[in-house]
Structure 1
Amino acid sequence: MANSSQATPAVQFIDIRADQAGQRIDNFLITLEKGVPKSRIYRALRKGEVRVNKGRIKQTYRLQAGDQVRIPPLRVSEKVIITDLSDSLTEALEQSILMEDDALLVINKPSGLAVHAGSQIQLGVIEAMRIIRPDNRFVELVHRLDRDTSGCLVIAKSREALLNLQEQMKNSETDKRYLTLTKGHWPANENIVDLALQKNTLSSGERMVAPDINGKKSKTLFEVKQNFVDCQLVAAKLYTGRTHQIRVHSASQSHPVAGDEKYGDREFNKRLKQFGLKRMFLHAWQLSIKHPITHEPVTFHAELPDSLNDVLKKLEAQS
């Protein structure tokens, strides 16, 4: 069981290192104080509660090496800080590492583990990796995966690497491919879905995404890999990186992802449980990028978990 300690709300003073320089103060605080509403952070900046070198600053101020930042207590309630990991989680994450050097750490993220902590989640991949790699002063997520999605996840070990990779993703210079099991049979071996997507928040606070002509441009290629009686194993290539893109695009074509409780088909999900499916069948199996330091092209592969391979074997036997 992981140990934890209660953080007592108090004023913090942080000295900015060279590798933290160049960030806007608002973005620095949002990253540092994950889970704190952005409105609270901007209010603290407007009121002068946050100070740099004892002076008031605007939200657009860019931090410089050697700056001292005064940060007031921003959380309404005390934050539980995880300071230790169980041996089993440590071993699982160490074994999930696909590649590591001075700039990058690429892992095959397990399903069920969030990429970062939130209001209801005390520990995510990034917090765990900071505990596992205590000597690395900079450990930040380059991108995100849904909690139930497994597969390739890239973590930057320097600010230079982070900014370079985020720029690659913003400019669609990376190649992200997922494996998913979808209901029914697609009309062709290759199918392009080009539907703009809009993010909405329901009154319950739940986040939903839906096709909307006023939304953000979104494009996915679905390529059939294997046929079964009433479903197909499909490789999905992302041309854009919108929230829940694969899940919403496939569902919009009446081919929802197996095990997807938000956008999926209840009866289809129930049937797949009989084949041993206990999670959403979505896995980030391949990621191609340019190395942020050497600029050489590099491709990472994360093999399907045994639990998903077992489902495919049972479906094959039925076919």
Structure 2
Amino acid sequence: MSVKFITAGSEDAGQRVDNFLMRHYRNVPKTLIYRIIRKGEVRVNKGRVKQTTRIQEGDLIRIPPIRTPEKMEVKIPAGQLERIEQAILYEDADLMVINKPSGVAVHGGSGVQFGLIEVMRELRPLAKRMELVHRLDRETSGCILLAKKASILKALHEQIREDKMVKEYLALLSAHWPKGKQKIDLPLLKNTLQSGERMVVVDQSGKPSVSFFKVEQSFKEVDLVNVRLKTGRTHQIRVHAQSQGCPIVGDDKYGDKSINKSFAKLGMKRLALHAQFLTFTHPGKEGDDAVIKIEAPLHHDFEGIIQYLSSADNE
């Protein structure tokens, strides 16, 4: 093992240092990647960097000696491969959108042998540069975007930074949303508890976070809402909903245990949050064909609980 130097190419330009390292060292734990950045062992053009520092073409990246663990062969069950294959909503030579089922992590790690990205790399072995464009919580279902080329990934990340990618979610809240309240502008701070569990709280020292809530359907005791994100912080919708006294049904971190239990008996045994719509400009297309809007159909449990609530209201 020795110090390694990599010169960033045109396809690396605009990528964060942490993501750059994770792409080059896929078998190395993320905690190690963040540790060597934090300790100043990773340098760009001889200077210390933060994990959020973006690389430019021609940058010289110094990487300290890293012991790469032997790659363990993980056998992904055929049923899981087929399940994700059937969940593809859109695909071309540049990118794809998948209707991620709830309970599927976006990547392996932290006790998860494999996630969505590992499944897709096995399903599409020729797409050597396939990467997640954004992330969803493991419990959240719906639209997730993957890029097959580094240039496409870079262009899509730029759309996210410039607020040109629109993400709309459907959430079932465990109480009625405050009348007339639409914009939630509350900073969010990530905390790690002694147990290692990650929690997010509203805190003035946190990162700016903005969500827009709109009631789609009101039932006797709960509301179904559309949520549009302006920022994409960890657990943003979940914590913003909780801040208004309306945690999402099935939320085991920020929700109401008794309400979650009652909905589980009705068949909704998971977080009632679904990434329903995703709108973006396809970097490889021009004109009217470039604007892509994808809708992810609700999975049977979410659709079923809405039907149940609707019929109960009509009785």
* Same fold, TM-score > 0.5, yes or no: yes
Q: Which of the numbers 158, 165, 178 marks the counterpart of 1:174?
A: 165
Moved more, 144-153 or 38-47: 38-47
Deviations 1:23-78 (A, max 9, x none): 68764323333524225544998499xxxxxxx987778787xx9x9985535x65
Instruction: Specify the alignment match of 1:206 in structure 2.
Output: 197
TM-score normalised according to structure 2 size: 0.83
Is the 2:12–2:56 Cα contact (8 Å) retained in structure 1?
yes
Question: 2:80 & 2:248 partners in 1: Cα distance?
Answer: 28
Query: Is 1:29 matched up with 2:21?
Result: yes
Q: Does 1:315 align with 2:309?
A: yes
Q: How does 1:127-276 map to 2 (within 5 A)?
A: 127-188=118-179, 191-276=182-267
Q: What SS class does the counterpart of residue 182 from structure 2 fall into?
A: strand
Pick aligned residue for 1:90 from 77, 81, 98? 81
2: distance between equivalents of 1:306 and 1:284?
Answer: 15
| RMSD of Structure 2 on Structure 1 (CA) | 3.3
2: CA distance, partners of 1:197 / 1:208: 10
Deviations 1:226-273 (A, max 9, x none): 121210111111111111110000000001100000011112112212
Q: Secondary structure at the match of 2:128?
A: coil
CA deviations over 1:155-194 (Å, ceiling 9, x no partner):
0011111011111111211110001100221233662211
- Aligned residue identity for 2:111: Q
Instruction: Provide the C-alpha distance between the structure 2 equivalents of 1:205 and 1:259, rounded to a whole number of angstroms.
Output: 21
Between stretches 301-310 and 39-48, larger displacement belongs to 39-48
Percent of aligned pairs with the same residue? Answer: 41
Provide, for residues 65-107 of structure 1, a one-character-per-residue CA deviation record: whole Å limited to 9, x for no partner. Answer: xx9x9985535x655332x432211111111111111111111
Contact persistence 1:247–1:257 (CA under 8 A) = yes
Give me the whole-angstrom Cα distance separating, in 2, the residues matched to 1:88 and 1:240.
35
Change in CA separation of 1:293 and 1:278 when aligned onto 2, cut-off 3 Å: same
Structure 2 unaligned segments of length 5 or more: list them: 50-54
Q: Following the alignment from structure 2 to structure 1, what is the Cα–Cα distance between the partners of residues 235 and 183?
A: 16
SS class of match (1:80): coil
The change in CA–CA distance for 1:80 and 1:300 in structure 2 (over 3 A counts) is same
Match of 2:52 in 1: none
Which residue identity is paired with 2:105?
A
Matches within 5 A, 1:290-309: 290-294=281-285, 296-309=290-303
CA distance in 1, matches of 2:16, 2:275: 32
Structure 1 equivalent of residue 33 of structure 2: 38
3-state DSSP of counterpart to 1:153:
strand
Aligned length: 301
Residue 224 of structure 1, CA deviation = 0.9
Report the secondary structure of 1:285's partner residue: strand
Tell me: CA distance 1:226–1:24, structure 2 relative to 1, closer, same or farther (3 Å).
closer
Q: 1:153 to 1:47 in 2, by over 3 A?
A: closer
Distance 1:62 1:17, change over 3 A: closer
Partners of 1:123 and 1:140 in 2: CA distance:
14
Most deviating of 21-30 and 119-128: 21-30
TM-score by length of 1: 0.83
Classify 1:255/1:47 alpha carbon distance in 2 versus 1 (closer, same or farther; 3 Å). closer
Letter in 2 for 1:28: F
| Counterpart Cα distance in 1 of 2:174 and 2:118 | 36
CA distance in 2, matches of 1:292, 1:88: 33
- Which ranges of structure 1 fall in alignment gaps of 5 or more residues? 1-9, 49-55
